[in-house]
Structure 1
Amino acid sequence: MPAVSYAAPLQAGDEATISQDQADTRGLIQDIVVMARRREESAQSTPVSISAISQQQLTDLNIVRIEGITQLVPSLRITQASGSGNAPAIFIRGIGTLSTALYVEPAVGVYVDGVYTPRPSGNTFDLPDVSSIEVLRGPQGTLFGRNTTGGAILLSTGNPTEEFGGKVSFSYGSREEVIGSAILQLGKIGNTPFSVKLTAQSHSRDGWVKTPNHSPSQWGGALDSYGFGAAIRGELGNLTVDLRGRYNKIISYTGWEALSATPVGRAYFANAATASGIAFPIGVGPRDYSYRDPRTSGKSVVETKGGVLTLDHHVSDAFSIKSITAYNTIDQNLRGNLGGGATRGTVANPAVAGQPVEFVSVHVTPTNPGQQRQFTQELQLLGDVGDFNYLVGLYYYDESVDETITTILNSPLSATSAIRLNRSTTYVIDSKSYAAFVQAGWKPSFADGKLEIVGGIRYTEDKKALNSSSVSTTITTTRATQSRKDKWHNVGWLGSISYKVTPDILLYARAASAYRSGGYNAPTVGVPPFDPEKAISYEAGFKADLFDRHLRFNAAAYQTDYDDLQVNGYNIATNTNLLTNAGKARYRGFEIETQVAFGGFRVDGNVGYVDPVYKEYILAVGGVPTNVASQARFSNIPKWTYHAGAQYTLETADVGSLTLRGDFTGKSNSSTYTILSQAPNTAQVPFFGKESNYSARLIWAFDLAGKKMTAQVFGENLSNNRYLTFASDFGAVLAGTYNRPRYYGVALGLDF
């Protein structure tokens, strides 16, 4: 259910906390305490479009990676961007980016324990110890800073406890998928005020895209991941000290398939396959079959490490000071056969003179090492003074990324010959960002706390420096270098007004702006930087708990206006991905979330609708800047997202509780490219495909020797619905990846 965590039912205007088990027994819908405005407050009393997901819900629905939450949140789409080690590509209300490269700034900010983690490949970890997830929909530029033009996702891990205890879980499913995790609470350290927690997780599975001459553990879709975490927390009087660290490593294999091609591309690879006896199938799938080019292992490795020190000094209700200091790193090497196949064909410029027949594919990445280093510091001053509450903050962000991208590309010249391009690009980007922000709320006494007016402002300055070089070889070798520095700044703002008609019904309206930093198309030397993306959003909604908290109904309608919208596309002429500023766009939509709870019966659902329109899209046509807004489509943006779930829990005195749950999640079709006239192969596959996922599970919870045990049998994607998760046009061939087929499994859990 989209709003279940630790409970805080509202009664007569008060917020009293009860346990989850107590609330379930009484058949109530729980509220949740959130940090959407950087302070603890009830989700139903917060004038923000927010969906909150608890640790229990993640466990019940077997959600172990961040893309799994896409079923629970309206207007949210998360897919695995398979070109980047299965990094998540996140869209909220239609805003996001498919590129997960280290040089690209995302449009949705992801925060782990209050720390911004900007690179998608740094968010490939499993979720063994996440206590709650908050999805904030719409621009969040005042409190959460740059790169939140789409929204923000806040992940919080559990605190160490003073008592010894823990939790272990294990699941086994289709394609030899094995997931194990452990949380160990060591309790207090001697007579000190500090408590310690340790976590560990492991996750492996075979792939489903068959790759000849390789074991299933190396087929497309396969992964092998493990991670560790530690936390120490203690209270020294009014000072809380919290230190956390985590490590994760994931090895994955992508399963690209060739979907369409130009006439000469189709003829060349077909003739090469016939002559060599090595298949190179081209056609819309999924076929779940791909021949791997021997020039790449196809093995992508991403290793992440991070630590955060949080100091919280509560001087009084009127004044607290909070410091968040963090350091994160990413080390990765992405390898893959992005062209979707390989065979032996004739090339005009063979690697070995006199041997014109060699392996050919439209896009191969033999090696792509990269690293990111990030230091952040945030200082917050906050408190309540009379009818007012306030938050003042300073923020510093220092990041360095460097990457070397080595690619081999074959471009057919005719039905019998192609030319090979070897290219290696190295770039370094140093970024620094400075921000200052303030937000204040007023709850006038004359309104008995029912009315709240909030205003906020944030100033951000970004500085970036780029150094890049590229070496391209066909018959001749071309070298290029680039070095430049740029600076951008922005003033963001927020205003909201809310009113509690009753203790359980909130009406609100808000307007906010947000900003996504400008940057560089680093692998393409000589291309000028793209400008920041700016957004202004207007939203109105209500949150209602009705019939003595047995029915929840939340709804919001919004309009967001974007200027210099950053749009990703593949440049066929240069065989590179490019981010460009499309122009102006308007997004309108609405979202509804509802729950019904009565005794052991519960139903939940959500629906989101977004209708984006380009107001201006400037593109060079024949060298002349032209507004092509009428032709432009919105790539990877389903207009409709929807989810419905129902469960019934039977409580017994002898065997514990049995819960039967079923879910349906769907997303409407969406375009694969923005300007199809620029990508003739994509025009043959214009849509990603409609998403629909039926899942079912039976959960048995019981006590064993005084310990809480759970056992579960589940099935996902029961209708075996298949759709594209990623697609890219490489000139001669369009290739893409498909979602996971139907799968089943069992899971066990023990709390001690």
Structure 2
Amino acid sequence: MNGLKRTTLKKTRLALMLAAGVSMLPISAVVMTPAAAQESADGEQGDDVIVVSARRREESLQDVPLAVTAVSGEDLDDIGAVDITDVQRLTPNATIEVARGSNSTLVAFIRGVGQQDPLWGFEPGVGVYVDDIYIARPQGAVLDIFDVERIEVLRGPQGTLYGRNTIGGAIKYVTRDLNLEEPEFRARVNVGSYGQFDQILSGSVPLSDTFAVGGAIANYKRDGFGQNLNTGADHYNKDLISGRLNALWRPSDSFQLEFSYDSTQDDSNAKHGHRLLPSATGTIPVTDDEYDTRAGIGDDNKVETEGYSLTAEWTVSDALTLKYIGAHRESSTVTPIDFDALPQADFDVPAFYDDSSDSHELQALFQTGPFSGVAGIYYLDGEASGAFDVILSALGLTIYQGGYQVKENLSAYADVTWAINEQWDLSVGGRLTQDDTTADVLREAWLGLGSGSFDPSNATSVFLATQTGYEGLTRSDEEFTPRVSVSYRPVDDLTLYASYAEGFKAGGFDPRAREDLDPLGLSEEGFGPETVESFEFGAKGRTMDNRLTYAATIFMADYTDQQITVQQGADSDNDGTNDTFVSSVFNAGASTYKGLELEGSLAATDRLTLTGVLGYIDAEIDEILSGGVNIADQFVTQNTPELSARLGFNYLYPLANGSELGFNGAASYRDDYYLFNVENDGFGAGENAIFPNGGPALDPEAYTLFDLSATWTSADDRWRLGIYGRNLTDERYRVAAYNFVTPSQLGADSAYSTFYGAPRTVTGSIEFRY
């Protein structure tokens, strides 16, 4: 009955929210997008039109025959966006969240395709790019919003236009260009709830007619939303500094070089879970506040990322431009993870991760007669490693896990558009990918708390056995993925398109594999690649004297051999007790994802703009064969709510002195969804010997967030004051969880805890621009 009530409630709330939008808008304008709101009301494409580079050339968002959500830096400022995860609210069928137990690791899903586990042996399903530079690992990928021109989110398989092949989609973070004509400067200070105090500086200066330098630095400070009741430290706090340096040399109109360097250090305290069950003895109760924890492993946490890139562009002729993009990136993470979220070391995991990558890309952009397009070669050489101890004090055991992976990717791609006439375009593209993986996997059992392999100074623990000793595992995956699309413009203000695209993600090796529990050697073979065949039909247009802009997309994707990770307890010494854990990675046979996406914007008056987004997806795992039996009904799709929606408004009020007041508000809704590939709706009484009274569900329920902001901009656009209220109803909504609860698993208390999005916050800001 509780599940039925939750379902009824969520549908009622969504219906009320959408009904409110329908009451204000014509039926064709139920949903709108912030990017579309940039189109000028008189139909002219002026300076305020969102221009995207999704197809490697500058185009108005409304003319691109792709499912793209683009949000300008100004729009992100207006809504008080904090980091890249805020784009989730503006993008249909997207989940973009901070990973569990982390402050800066990204989990991204688009149309049901992504990667939940950020461990070093897995590749993300959604690619993240900063100025065309691929971010190979999710650690440090929760990018803060500063010095940004726009963010583009491309939905569906990508790979025929640029960069690394990504099976689910791509998120492009585009920074501001340097100005060769005059100096620019911005300074901003934010002060807000929980002791927030941010300082952001950015600017550029031309040193000559051909050379300019610039940079940005941002320092973010905030107290915790909660507290570690065991140590007294802030919990969910923020302590981060990030900087960027740029240089641009343009000796002629046909050639330029741009160099960029960025660095981020995140010293925010470790983020532990809110335990949903008391300790096994009942002596330690559940905390009252969702943001509090009683973790005992410690609070010190450090994430460092840095990278540099060089981009060279040579316009050979009006018909041909050559471009080279080279980059090096690296990151390091040292973090304690307290799975049991209790003072004792019953399931504590100190861990570190390191990664680095070098990438090189050569592009040729061409246009001759009715033909235009891009062709390129992309190469990535990346390595990732890590290690952690699983400390099980109740059992007196420690499991050490370490590994190393090298990923080498070589790809060739091309995409050509033929403008058949003024109404019809045909685009054909393809990508040939060669992906080579080499991996080491080491797993050991130690008697005592902590291992000598993770901490060489530990002289008290005794080595028991090597459970996994793989060295030099290799696999090679190769795939050709085509793309074809056709677009039709029956009138100037309407673009219809249809496309077919294939996506591919290479296989790999489970970094938690158990060799001694795998007599057939299946983990030594690794898990295979996954593929997607995606069909998409879309319409983009303007109507009502160009006051209404809209985009509608229908899609269907056949997902084959989806890589699924299931973690579970295991009996390491055959005594009938699940005293360690293993993960099993396998390829599901078949899944089907289909849905609808609507985005739109209505200039209701000269001052009032209404915006909206709606995403619907029906995601099903159709076939998983085990011993010839289809067990797909035992699995669900993760991080993919069936419904997501946003209704917003922007009202501008000019003042007599030429300055302007702006008001911005929105309601953002997300349906309930699953965090894992196995549903967790709680466990009932008697199902667990440790917790005989059962436990609550872990998966998030449906929720709605309400935001409201007000800004004042001076007549000369130099000064800007703002106040931003976010999650005004103080909704406590889950975004991640740990679930290791079976009889006698992993010691006395195991793990059953959740992580939450930010509570109600109010931020005031003052900004000066020159």
Alignment of 1:228-627 (within 5 A): 228-237=243-252, 238-252=254-268, 253-260=270-277, 269-271=279-281, 274=283, 279-281=284-286, 287-293=290-296, 296-342=297-343, 359-361=344-346, 363-366=347-350, 368-410=351-393, 418-444=394-420, 447=421, 449-474=422-447, 477-479=464-466, 480-483=468-471, 484-526=473-515, 527-528=523-524, 529-573=526-570, 574-597=580-603, 598-619=605-626, 624=627, 626-627=629-630
Write the letter of the residue equivalent to 2:437.
K
For 1:58 and 1:8, the matched residues in 2 are separated by 16
The match for 2:737 is 727
1:697 corresponds to which of 675, 687, 709: 709
For 2:163 and 2:594, the matched residues in 1 are separated by 23
Write the letter of the residue equivalent to 1:596.
L
CA contact (8 A) 2:189 2:765 kept: yes
**Cα distance change on mapping 1:583 and 1:298 into 2, 3 Å:** farther
Aligned pairs, number: 685
Q: Deviations over 1:711-736 (max 9, x none)?
A: 11121111111122111212343222
The match for 2:647 is 644
3-state SS, counterpart of residue 565 of structure 1:
strand
Write the letter of the residue equivalent to 1:101.
L
TM-superposed CA distance for 1:206, in Å, is: 1.4
TM-score by length of 1: 0.87
Q: Deviations over 1:244-283 (max 9, x none)?
A: 11001112321302224xxxxx6xx342x63xxxx2538x
Write the letter of the residue equivalent to 1:538.
F
TM-superposed CA distance for 1:488, in Å, is: 0.6
The match for 2:455 is none
Write the letter of the residue equivalent to 1:590.
L
Q: Deviations over 1:140-193 (max 9, x none)?
A: 13224655221111111111112112111111111112222111212x21x451
**Cα distance change on mapping 1:692 and 1:589 into 2, 3 Å:** same
Q: Deviations over 1:342-393 (max 9, x none)?
A: 2xxxxxxxxxxxxxxxx343x2123x22211100000011211111113111
**Cα distance change on mapping 1:696 and 1:491 into 2, 3 Å:** same
**Cα distance change on mapping 1:303 and 1:577 into 2, 3 Å:** farther
**Cα distance change on mapping 1:196 and 1:360 into 2, 3 Å:** closer
3-state SS, counterpart of residue 599 of structure 2:
strand
Write the letter of the residue equivalent to 1:502.
V
3-state SS, counterpart of residue 582 of structure 1:
strand
For 1:472 and 1:600, the matched residues in 2 are separated by 67
CA contact (8 A) 1:181 1:199 kept: yes
3-state SS, counterpart of residue 85 of structure 2:
helix
TM-superposed CA distance for 1:481, in Å, is: 1.1
The match for 1:211 is 228
3-state SS, counterpart of residue 336 of structure 2:
coil
CA contact (8 A) 1:440 1:456 kept: yes
For 2:396 and 2:736, the matched residues in 1 are separated by 25
**Cα distance change on mapping 1:463 and 1:104 into 2, 3 Å:** same
For 1:739 and 1:677, the matched residues in 2 are separated by 19
Higher mean displacement: 368-377 or 631-640 = 631-640
TM-superposed CA distance for 1:83, in Å, is: 2.5
**Cα distance change on mapping 1:144 and 1:420 into 2, 3 Å:** farther
For 2:189 and 2:641, the matched residues in 1 are separated by 34
TM-superposed CA distance for 1:51, in Å, is: 0.5
Write the letter of the residue equivalent to 2:707.
S
The match for 1:183 is 202
TM-superposed CA distance for 1:547, in Å, is: 2.1
Write the letter of the residue equivalent to 1:235.
R
Write the letter of the residue equivalent to 2:348.
V
**Cα distance change on mapping 1:452 and 1:571 into 2, 3 Å:** same
CA contact (8 A) 1:471 1:477 kept: yes
TM-superposed CA distance for 1:457, in Å, is: 0.9
**Cα distance change on mapping 1:584 and 1:492 into 2, 3 Å:** same
**Cα distance change on mapping 1:314 and 1:11 into 2, 3 Å:** farther
CA contact (8 A) 1:145 1:458 kept: no
For 2:61 and 2:378, the matched residues in 1 are separated by 26
TM-superposed CA distance for 1:300, in Å, is: 2.3
Identity %: 25
**Cα distance change on mapping 1:167 and 1:173 into 2, 3 Å:** same
The match for 1:109 is 127
**Cα distance change on mapping 1:504 and 1:9 into 2, 3 Å:** farther
For 2:90 and 2:313, the matched residues in 1 are separated by 32
1:170 corresponds to which of 179, 184, 189: 189
3-state SS, counterpart of residue 44 of structure 1:
helix
CA contact (8 A) 1:44 1:543 kept: yes
CA contact (8 A) 1:3 1:32 kept: no
The match for 1:32 is 50
Q: Deviations over 1:615-655 (max 9, x none)?
A: 20234xxxx45321123222221000100101211101226
CA contact (8 A) 1:145 1:514 kept: no
TM-superposed CA distance for 1:70, in Å, is: 1.0
3-state SS, counterpart of residue 121 of structure 1:
coil
CA contact (8 A) 2:68 2:152 kept: yes
For 2:290 and 2:333, the matched residues in 1 are separated by 29
CA contact (8 A) 1:147 1:517 kept: no
Misfit runs of 4+, over 4 Å: 5-12, 144-147, 676-684
1:57 matches 2:75 = yes
For 1:10 and 1:488, the matched residues in 2 are separated by 50
1:195 corresponds to which of 194, 212, 223: 212
**Cα distance change on mapping 1:280 and 1:707 into 2, 3 Å:** same
Q: Deviations over 1:491-534 (max 9, x none)?
A: 01100000111111100000000111211211335334111110
The match for 1:415 is none
TM-superposed CA distance for 1:305, in Å, is: 0.5
